[in-house]
Structure formats: structure tokens, C-alpha cells
Amino acid sequence: MNPVLTPPKPVLLVALGGNALIRKGQKGTIDEQFANLRVPMRQIAQLTASFRIIITHGNGPQVGNLMLQQECCSDVPRLPLEILVAQTQGQIGYMIESTLDSELMALGIVTQKCLVSLISYVVVDPQDPAFADPSKPVGPVYPEELVPSLPFPVKKTPKGYRRVVASPKPLTIVEQKEIRHLIAMDFVVICCGGGGIPVIREGRGFCGVDAVIDKDLASAKLARQVGVDIFCIATDVPGVNLDYGTPGQRLLTRLSVDDAQQFLAQGQFPPGSMGPKVEAAIEFVRATGKRAAIGPIEDIAGTVAGTQGTQLTL
């Protein structure tokens, strides 16, 4: 008699926003970050029973803090941005992995689950138009009188004058093959932190560049390349809203990608917040025909199940 083969579990990618570690109004201490992580990690631990899981995450506050620390000690050579991104991938990967490990242990399944954090490169196009017009603010606020002497582009933001870098589109995830192998073995994979380390090809190798990649767009690219079945973006709002911040604000629980594209073109979703999330979800759904969801970090399980957040489909 031939044995009955159990179909492999579907693959779920959870993209955690920056609020997974640091909430509004917090200083961002390590104790705060670990405490904040317990909420999403407890849910992800439970979801491992039904899904093979990939976790991606933001790193904006952590990179910003490293840049501030560099400003405070001019005797120590400054590190380029891609190195700071790599540092935070290791830092946050460790925090996610150790917190998830504790939650799996609480469920009694720690011995059945393997976890791994990957330092991830993401290839970008050196001819991407974003390099001609850097627009992503990073690091500290500078006094206006210092601006002419700074060795990098600076723009005035609501907080003051800040350094700006390019935010090019992700082309491919360098470690996609390794990630596919790991999820096939039911590893929980933590990768593409902060959108990945931006690199350009130089012959057969890679060279890091001063840029940042949007975490949600990189996550959508990864989801397409490794065969994800559900793409979930966990954020600090209940889902995708129309007329956000106005008396007419309303949550969209179901949204077709065609309608989402139209609302995006109308300016309903700002580029610095919900815009890239909706754009990433549209890209994934159109390329795969599968479902994307955007919902609250407090209820990732409900967002995945389709009872919370906004569900985006063809």
C-alpha cells in the first residue's frame, strides 16, 4: 500500500511594520521593543501550525538611531548606509527570532520548529530615476547653517533639514534560492529586513549603494519569487481606509486591485504611509492571482483568516 502524502502547508509572508518594535510615543528602548514584539510573535507562533512562514520587517527607527550615534562620536569612522542596514538586519533578526522562540516554547512546539535569520541583499537598477532625485529622509535633523557644508544631499522636511537618499525599486532578492530551500524544509525565515541591503551588480559581484528600499515593495518582490500563497502586511491601522483622517473615513474590508489602483492614482493613499503597502499588494495579486491582506498588527491571525483588515484580490 502506498503511503498517503500530506500536502505541504501553504506559505505565508508576514511583513511587519516599524510599529512592531517601537510604538508611537515610545523612546525605543530594548525592553520596549522586546515587549512590543510579543504580540505579533505570539500570533505567528500559532500560525506555524497551518503555514510555512517568512517574516520581513522595517528598520527605520533603528537605522536612524545608529546614524544619530555616529553623529555623537566623530572620532570613530562613519559607516555607510548599507552597513547600517546590515547591522539592523542582524539586530532585529535576533530580537524577532528569540521572541518567536519563546512563544513557540510556550506552545510546546519549540523542538519541532527551526528558525533562521538571513542577511539579505536586494538588487536595484543603477539607472533607477530615484537616484537622480533622492527623496527619502534618513538620520538626524541638521541646523540650517550647517547645510551648505554637508557632504550629501539635504532637503527641508517637517522636522527640519535632513539627509535624503534614493529609494529605488527592488529588482530581485539575491538569496531567493536559499529562502525557497529553507521554507521547503519548514524553517521560519526572517529576511529582507528594512527592504534589504541595496546593491547593484558589478560584473559577477555586487556593490552596496547609498539608498533605502521600501520594505513592503521588497516583500512583495520576495513573495513573488519564492512562491508565497498569502501576503500579509501588518501595520498600525485596522486596514486600508478611504478619506483617511477626515469625518468621512471608511474602512475597505474587500478591495479589487483595479479599484485599489484607481484610488492610488487619486491620491487616496499617501506615498509615505499606506501608498507603498497598497502598491505592494497590487503587485503581488496581479502577478500571482493570490490574496494579499493589510491589517492590524494586533490581529495578524484575523487578517490572514480574512476576518480583519483589508483583503485585496483580482
Indicate which CATH number applies to the domain containing 43: 3.40.1160.10
Span 202-221, pLDDT tens digits: 888 899 999 999 999 999 99
Catalytic status, residue 2:
no
Span 240-286, pLDDT tens digits: 999 999 999 999 999 999 999 999 999 999 988 899 999 999 999 99
- Residue 309 domain-assigned (yes or no): yes
Out of 18, 139, 196, 239, the active site residue is 18
- Residue 232 domain-assigned (yes or no): yes
Out of 59, 93, 196, 215, the active site residue is 215
- Write the CB contacts of 81 (distance below 8 Å, at least 6 apart in sequence): 63, 138, 165, 210, 211, 212
Q: What is the largest CA-CA distance in the chain?
A: 81
| Residue 198 binned pLDDT confidence (cut-offs 50, 70, 90) | very high
Mean pLDDT in residue range 166-170: 97
Distance CA 133, CA 230 (A): 34
- Residue 130 domain-assigned (yes or no): no
Catalytic status, residue 113:
no
Beta strands 52-57 and 136-142: pairing type?
unpaired
Mean pLDDT in residue range 226-247: 96
pLDDT for residue 4: 60
- Residue 155 domain-assigned (yes or no): no
pLDDT for residue 283: 98
Closest by alpha carbon to 34, among 105, 111, 94?
A: 94
Decide if pLDDT at 153 tops 90. yes
Mean pLDDT in residue range 192-200: 96
| Residue 119 binned pLDDT confidence (cut-offs 50, 70, 90) | very high
Out of 17, 19, 59, 241, the active site residue is 19
| pTM of the shown model | 0.95
Out of 36, 59, 194, 277, the active site residue is 277
Closest by alpha carbon to 128, among 91, 179, 166?
A: 166
Q: What percent of the chain has pLDDT over 70?
A: 97
Catalytic status, residue 159:
no
Per-residue DSSP letter, 238: S
| Residue 45 binned pLDDT confidence (cut-offs 50, 70, 90) | very high
| Residue 36 binned pLDDT confidence (cut-offs 50, 70, 90) | very high
- Residue 153 domain-assigned (yes or no): no
Catalytic status, residue 19:
yes
Q: Based on the structure, what is the number of domains in the chain?
A: 1
| Residue 73 binned pLDDT confidence (cut-offs 50, 70, 90) | confident
pLDDT for residue 17: 85
- Residue 161 domain-assigned (yes or no): no
Which structural domain range is residue 45 located in? 11-125+176-313
Mean pLDDT in residue range 182-192: 96
Catalytic status, residue 277:
yes
Sheet holding 205-208, edge to edge: 172-173, 121-123, 197-202, 205-208
| Residue 6 binned pLDDT confidence (cut-offs 50, 70, 90) | low
Closest by alpha carbon to 195, among 82, 64, 45?
A: 82
Sign of CA dihedral 85, 91, 97, 102: negative
Decide if pLDDT at 3 tops 80. no
Mean pLDDT in residue range 109-136: 91
- Residue 209 domain-assigned (yes or no): yes
Mean pLDDT in residue range 94-106: 95
Out of 59, 64, 93, 136, the active site residue is 136
